[in-house]
Chains A and B, each alone.
Chain A
Amino acid sequence: MSCQPETQEKLVFDRPAVLADVPTHYCPGCQHGVIHRMVAECLEEFGLVEKTIAVSSIGCSVFLYNYILVDTVEAPHGRAPAVATGVKRARTDAFVFAYQGDGDLASIGMAEIMHAANRGERISVVFVNNTVYGMTGGQMAPTTMIGQKTTTCPGGRCAEREGGPIRMAEIIASLDGVAYCARTAVNSVKNMAQAKRALRRAFEVQIRGEGFGFVELLATCPTNWKVSPVAANERVAKEMIPGFPLGVFKDASKED
């Protein structure tokens, strides 16, 4: 029996060449893979692959370099925006993006993200918010929602004790150096299309030298949320989006 299709089929959906053809290490239902793909597509659509330097951070997504085949440097925990600043200042002609999770960016790396954004560094930051520390086993993140149970807030996050979840996109948008800032989600086809548009705009403002680009993407962590991938996606729609409203919070040039 032949595995070849009997009729010539037209390929309409292919892997971007900059995305490695390797098995994933991410858990079932994790959306880093979806976001990696969107980043890869943007790099190819803008013709940036050959001039890109990526900064990978700490957590599950440190292995970005196993999937997106561009020059990459690994940053210490939370410091990716500072490392990306050094990269961009050293190679002003390079396209530089950092890829960070919520524990990395909004907790230990709060100073670095705020100041890189405020300086208007010509870099793009892809911020994946799944409201939990993933790689270390599901501890409370600065974005963990009120009432959400984690291994370090087993009774649920309590505002009085731990404060509320930090909304990074709103904070980043308030800084003068920021050219584009949006929050999106990847829980539905419609939202994925919006997320892709946001990533494109964040890359575009760097290409045009307009300033700092930031995209927050609400994503799932079924393993640490201890729910199925389908239920995780439902949680994004029902709980996360109401708490972290989607939208474009700043767009300096408002083109498109």
Chain B
Amino acid sequence: MSAKRVFIKGNEAIGQGALAAGCRCYFGYPITPQNDIPEMLSAAMPAAGGQFVQAESEVAAANMLLGAAACGVRAMTTSSSPGVSLMQEAISYMAGSELPGVIVNMNRGGPGLGDIGPSQGDYFQSVKGGGHGDYRTLVLAPATCQECYDLTFTAFDLAYKYRNPVLILGDAIVGQMKEPVTPREALPVDPAEGGDWKLTGRGQRAPRLLKSLFLEDGALAGQNRLLQKKYEAMRAEVLFEDFETADAELVVVAYGSIGRIAKSAVRSLRAAGVKVGLLRPVTLYPFPEDKLRELAAAGKRFLTIEHNLGQMVDDVRLAVRGLADSAFYGVFPGNLPTPDEFVEPIRAAAKGA
């Protein structure tokens, strides 16, 4: 199939990516700035032979996702920050019951009701578990509309590979901007996917049970041991963009929309002869800590730029500990930064100031 480029919003790219990746159940609840996704899927999902339900709340939407995921059907919900807080209960249960599903958070400003502008204030919530208990979700952070499309494919594949919820952490910038996107060929879902655990009605086999309650002596420890092993194995999935770090004296670490804006600032400083580079984590969990440590061992300095008041910078500092530190430049939520805003902070950090 020839890939014809389309000019769409990041939000629409996620919806179209999900359809092409074989997602056939969507559950959601309206919240700005991600409404383009449920709006487009309300027509497109039934047209593709799937199911669309506008739930009564984000709580219900995430639990519908849990139910569909238990059946081994590719399923998704999307929301924005306050809504994702409400989904954390189900996400924790999905992690505990080892259910695959995709949850999209088009991050807006907080805390509380905050505003509807862009922010990266949900980093901690996304990468440290978010709900109760010891668990992790894989977290993918797109910076372009094309990545919104492509990473949605990746999200479904990873969800099934690890039987785990996968989070796509975007924001109001990448969700609302329009760019050309090259779609991929729609994927026929492997009927064998989830074949050894999904609920289908037992037929002639023994009944299956998907649960997160482990009351017997030692059973919960056993389950958590298995989960931790899985989270360790997920480290193999690390993705990042490495932009001119080889000869850089200072490496800017930034993700998502901010990573992209920071890249423009790095590019203009390069043009002015300043030796700076950019490391943009694409997976936030797993975090590219080995790459950061390698750069630290090579003597680089670091500046973490985020659209929050300092969250990922903790993970950067952990990654480079003993070898280097990271400066921090934070953009307050509710503001939309331009590349120019980052130039002076990067120049100052490059000088070691």
Contacts and interface: CB of A to CB of B under 8 A. Distances in A.
Nearest to B50: A89
Contact of A50 (B25, B56, B201): B201
Contacts of B53: 85, 89, 119
Interface in B210-244: 210-213
Contacts of A50: 201-204
**Interface size classification for chain B:** 35 or more
Interface string B34-60: 000000000000000001010111011
B81 to A, nearest CB: 21
A153 B53 CA distance: 39
Contacts of B349: none
B57 A111 contact: yes
A125 to B, nearest CB: 14
B200 A94 contact: yes
Contacts of A62: 213
A86 B64 contact: yes
Nearest to B57: A111
Interface string A47-67: 001111101100000100100
B209 interface: yes
Given A55-B67, A86-B66, A71 B60 contact: no
B154 interface: no
A93 B201 CA distance: 9
B66 A73 contact: yes
A83 B64 contact: yes
B63 A112 contact: yes
Contacts of A209: none
Contacts of A82: 55, 59-61, 63-64, 67
B164 to A, nearest CB: 16
A71 to B, nearest CB: 4
Given A71-B202, A90-B68, A76 B209 contact: no
Given A74-B97, A79-B90, A115-B60, A65 B209 contact: yes
Interface of A: 49-53, 55-56, 62, 65, 69-76, 79, 82-91, 93-95, 111-112, 114-115, 119
27 contacts: A52-B201, A52-B202, A53-B71, A53-B199, A55-B67, A65-B207, A71-B208, A71-B209, A72-B199, A72-B211, A73-B66, A74-B212, A75-B66, A79-B60, A79-B66, A82-B59, A86-B27, A86-B64, A86-B71, A87-B70, A87-B71, A89-B64, A90-B51, A90-B72, A91-B200, A91-B201, A94-B71
Interface of B: 24-25, 27, 51, 53, 55-57, 59-61, 63-73, 75, 89-90, 93, 97, 199-204, 207-213
Nearest 3 A/B pairs, CB to CB: A86-B67, A86-B64, A82-B63
